[in-house]
C-alpha cells in the first residue's frame, strides 16, 4: 500500500470507503494517479466536473478573480454574486437566489424556507415535509432526516421530527399522505443516489397538481441532475412542470464548493434580513467561476452535446443489456445513466478501474455513469468495450 494511503488511514476520519487510488492530476475527461496511470473519468467528481478537469475557463477565472477579491462575507454586495444570481434567474422559473456552499446546505435552506412560508401563511401545525423512499438530500441532521434511506439514518436517533415518506412514482400514496399538516413535498426529479430512478411520464405533473391543490410547497432537489446533466439546464424542464423552490450544487461550480436555493418571488418573501445566512455562501471567487461555468453550459453547445452523446451512450449500454444476462435494466437521461445489475456492482467497478476507467455504483447493484458533459464518443466506445469484456468474465 502506498504511503499516501497509509497516512490517510492514520490521520483522517474513516468516513469514506475509498478506492485505493491517489489522484494527482486531471485534464478534460482524464485523470492520472500517483504512478502516472491514466483513467477515463465517468464519475466526474460525482456529477460535478461538467466542463472536465482543469477546464481552461475555470482556471482563467479562478486566477483573475483570486487577484481581485476572494471573500468579504455577505455583509457587502459583490459583483460576481449578482451576475450569477441574474443569470440563474434569467434561465429558470425562479425570481430569487440564495447562495450557500453545498447540496445539503441548499436543501437545509429549502426546508427552512418552506417551513417559514407555511408558518406565515397558515400559522402553526402545517409543518410536515414529505419526501420519497430511496431519496437522497444530504448528510446534515435535517437533510438526513429527509433522506429515505435507513443506511444513512442509522445511529443518529433522534432524527428531526416532521418528515414523512412515500414511494417515488406513486401518486396514490402521495395523495393519501398529503393532509393538512403537510407544508412541502421534496423530490429529486430523477433519483441519483437512489439508483438513477426516473419519474414515470406524468408523475411530476401529477405531483405538481396535488401540491397546488393541497397548498403544499413543491421543492425539486436538482443538486445532481441540474446544470445541464440531463441535456436541459434543469431536469424538470423535460417534464413540463416547475417547482416553487429548487436546489442546486454539484456541477454549479465545476468543483468549487457552491450551493444555491432558488424560488419564486412569493416564496422568497418568507425570508427577510436575519432569517437565514452563511459566512461563505456565494463568495466572489466561487460565483465568478460558477458564472463562467453556467455561461459555458448555455453558450458552448454543451446541452446539445449532452443530449446527443447521452443518447448514443444509452443505446450502447442497451446493446450490452441485450447481450449480458447480468444486466437487468438501463435507465437515465442525458449523461446520468444507470445500469442495474442482477449482482453487486463493486467487482465490476474494480475491474473497470484496473482497466483504466473510473465508474461508481449507486446503491449496491446499479452502475452509475455521470461523466463530464464534454465526454466524447471514442471514450464511451472504449468504456463499453471494456464493460463488455468484464461482463463476459463475470
Q: In the complex, which residues of this chain contact ligand PLP (CB under 6 A)?
A: 102-104, 107, 136-138, 188, 192-193, 221, 223-224, 249-250
Tell me whether strands 217-221 and 245-248 are parallel, antiparallel or unpaired.
Answer: parallel
Tell me how far, at minimum, the Cβ of 391 lies from ligand PLP, in Å. 27
Asked if 342 and 326 count as a contact pair (C-beta separation under 8 A), the reply is yes
End-to-end CA distance of the chain: 27
Tell me how far, at minimum, the Cβ of 11 lies from ligand PLP, in Å. 22
Asked if 45 and 255 count as a contact pair (C-beta separation under 8 A), the reply is yes
| Max CA separation in the chain (angstroms) | 61
Determine the Cα–Cα distance for residues 29 and 34; give it in Å rounded to an integer: 17
Determine the Cα–Cα distance for residues 267 and 264; give it in Å rounded to an integer: 6
Q: Which residues pair with 330 in a beta bridge?
A: 339
DSSP 3-state assignment of 215? coil
Nearer to ligand PLP (CB atom), residue 83 or residue 188? 188
Determine the Cα–Cα distance for residues 80 and 76; give it in Å rounded to an integer: 12
Phi, psi (rounded to 5 degrees) for 23: -90, 135
What angle, 0 to 180 degrees and rounded to 10, lies between the N-to-C axes of helices 56-68 and 284-299?
150
The C-alpha cell at 370 is 455521470
My answer on whether omega of the bond before 158 falls inside 30° of 0, hence cis, is: yes
Amino acid at each position: 500500500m502506498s504511503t499516501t494511503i497509509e497516512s490517510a488511514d492514520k490521520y483522517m476520519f474513516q468516513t469514506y470507503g475509498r478506492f485505493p487510488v491517489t489522484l494527482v492530476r486531471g485534464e478534460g475527461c482524464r485523470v492520472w494517479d500517483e504512478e502516472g496511470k491514466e483513467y477515463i473519468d465517468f464519475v466526474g467528481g460525482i456529477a460535478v466536473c461538467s466542463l472536465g478537469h482543469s477546464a481552461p475557463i475555470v482556471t482563467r477565472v479562478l486566477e483573475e478573480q483570486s487577484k481581485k477579491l476572494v471573500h468579504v462575507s455577505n455583509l457587502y454586495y459583490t459583483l460576481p454574486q449578482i451576475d450569477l444570481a441574474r443569470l440563474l434567474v434569467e434561465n429558470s422559473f425562479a425570481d430569487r437566489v440564495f447562495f450557500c456552499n453545498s447540496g445539503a446546505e441548499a436543501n437545509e435552506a429549502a426546508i427552512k424556507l418552506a417551513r417559514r412560508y407555511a408558518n406565515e401563511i397558515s400559522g402553526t401545525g402545517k409543518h410536515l415535509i414529505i419526501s420519497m423512499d430511496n431519496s437522497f438530500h444530504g448528510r446534515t441532521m435535517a437533510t438526513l432526516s429527509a433522506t429515505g434511506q435507513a443506511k444513512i439514518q442509522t445511529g443518529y436517533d433522534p432524527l428531526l421530527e416532521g418528515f414523512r415518506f412515500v414511494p417515488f412514482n406513486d401518486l396514490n400514496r402521495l395523495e393519501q399522505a398529503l393532509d393538512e399538516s403537510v407544508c412541502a413535498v421534496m423530490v429529486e426529479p430523477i433519483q441519483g443516489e437512489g439508483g438513477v430512478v426516473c419519474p414515470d411520464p406524468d408523475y411530476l405533473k401529477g405531483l405538481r397538481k396535488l401540491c397546488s391543490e393541497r397548498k403544499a410547497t413543491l421543492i425539486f432537489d436538482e443538486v445532481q441532475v441540474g446544470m445541464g446533466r440531463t441535456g436541459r439546464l434543469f431536469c424538470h424542464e423535460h417534464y413540463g412542470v416547475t417547482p416553487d423552490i429548487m436546489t442546486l450544487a454539484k456541477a454549479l461550480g465545476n468543483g468549487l464548493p457552491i450551493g444555491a436555493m432558488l424560488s419564486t418571488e412569493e416564496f422568497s418573501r418568507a425570508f427577510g434580513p436575519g432569517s437565514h445566512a452563511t459566512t461563505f455562501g456565494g463568495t466572489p471567487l466561487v460565483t465568478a467561476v460558477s458564472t463562467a461555468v453556467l455561461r459555458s453550459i448555455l453558450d458552448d453547445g454543451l446541452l446539445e452535446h449532452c443530449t446527443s452523446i447521452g443518447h448514443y451512450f444509452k443505446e450502447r449500454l442497451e446493446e450490452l443489456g441485450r447481450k449480458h444476462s447480468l444486466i437487468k435494466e438501463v435507465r437515465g437521461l442525458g449523461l446520468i445513466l444507470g445500469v442495474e445489475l442482477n449482482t453487486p456492482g463493486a467487482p465490476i467497478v474494480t475491474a473497470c478501474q484496473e482497466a483504466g476507467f473510473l465508474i461508481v455504483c449507486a446503491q449496491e447493484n446499479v452502475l452509475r455513469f455521470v461523466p463530464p458533459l464534454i465526454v466524447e464518443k471514442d471514450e464511451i466506445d472504449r468504456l463499453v468495450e471494456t464493460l463488455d469484456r468484464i461482463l463476459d468474465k463475470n
